[in-house]
Amino acid sequence: MNPSPLKVAVLASGRGSNLAALIAARDAGALPVEFVLVASDKASAGALRLAEAAGIRALALNPKDYPDRASFDRALFARVAASGAELLVLAGYMRVIDAEVVAGWEGRAINIHPSLLPKYPGLHTHRRCLEAGDTEHGASVHYVTAELDGGPVVAQARISVGTSDTETSLAERLLAEEHKLLTAVVGAIARGRLHWNGSALFDGQPLAGPLTLAQLS
């Protein structure tokens, strides 16, 4: 058990529904974390408004103000580091991060992705799932590396794909599972059950495969 709440920073590019789920879990006493920063590459991101409403420091940096991606990423991650964050959560952050910058956060940054990785890295995961005729879809939480959606997967949640499912219906049903999965993984890290020691360990043991919500509960 950690003696004090885990300091968490969140990066998000959109409305921030996963952030909202994390804040709600914290407010309910189910998540022993302190949010020290929510940052975005879009000043209009809903996630920033959620942070402000919750009394969390919100920051927007414009990539166009920097000469290249690496310069932007260095500036952004310098602010994350200055916040005192012990864990960085990418929750709908839609930019690929410079490899050298990411390397400095090995084992301290996680991302939630709406597919059963290694299937469907990148965008349009629900459409690709339907086009492939998959009967199962899901979400993955993985440690962040330089490879797009390619870091070690630590947990997954699964849903069945119905014959009447559309991109919209599939996305909506999966989002509820994403919220639960990300909250559970952050909670496991905050409580010291899941940690990184060159690879992911859960309750002191190497992962045999992605953790499920049942294992994380």
Number of domains in the chain: 1
Q: Could you tell me the CATH number of the domain that includes residue 201?
A: 3.40.50.170
pLDDT at 33 over 90: yes
Active site residue 195: no
Rounded Cα distance, 176 and 53, in Å? 22
Residue 63 forms part of a structural domain = yes
113, 126, 137, 142: which one is catalytic?
113
In 3D, which of 17, 25, 11 has the Cα closest to residue 50? 17
Is residue 73 a part of any domain in this protein?
Answer: yes
Task: Give the residue numbers spanning the domain of 188.
Answer: 6-122+139-158+179-216
Round to whole Å and give the CA distance between 111 and 108: 11
Q: How many CB atoms lie within 10 A of CB 78?
A: 11
Instruction: Kindly report, residue by residue over 182-210, the tens digit of the pLDDT.
Output: 999 999 999 999 999 999 999 999 999 99
Amino acid 14: pLDDT: 96
**108 within domain boundaries:** yes
Q: Is the pLDDT of residue 100 over 50?
A: yes
Q: Could you give phi then psi for residue 107, rounded to 5 degrees?
A: 75, 0
Tell me what percent of the residues of the chain surpass a pLDDT of 90.
97
pLDDT tens readout for residues 153-183: 999 999 999 999 999 999 999 999 999 999 9
Per residue in 36-91, pLDDT tens? 999 999 999 999 999 999 999 999 999 999 999 999 999 999 999 999 999 999 99
Nearest-angstrom CA–CA distance, 157 and 159 = 7
For residue 120, pLDDT beyond 70: yes
How far is residue 31's CA from residue 50's CA, in Å, rounded to a whole number?
17
Amino acid, res. 103: A
The answer as to whether 129 is a domain residue is no
Residue 172 lies in a domain: no
Instruction: Give the model's pLDDT for residue 2.
Output: 47
Asked if the structure places residue 134 within a domain, the reply is no
Instruction: Give me the chain's average pLDDT, please.
Output: 96
pLDDT of the residue at 121: 96
In a domain, 132, yes or no: no
Give the per-residue pLDDT at 3.
66
Q: Output the pLDDT for position 146.
A: 87
For residue 67, how many other CB atoms are within 10 A of its CB?
7
pLDDT of res. 1: 44
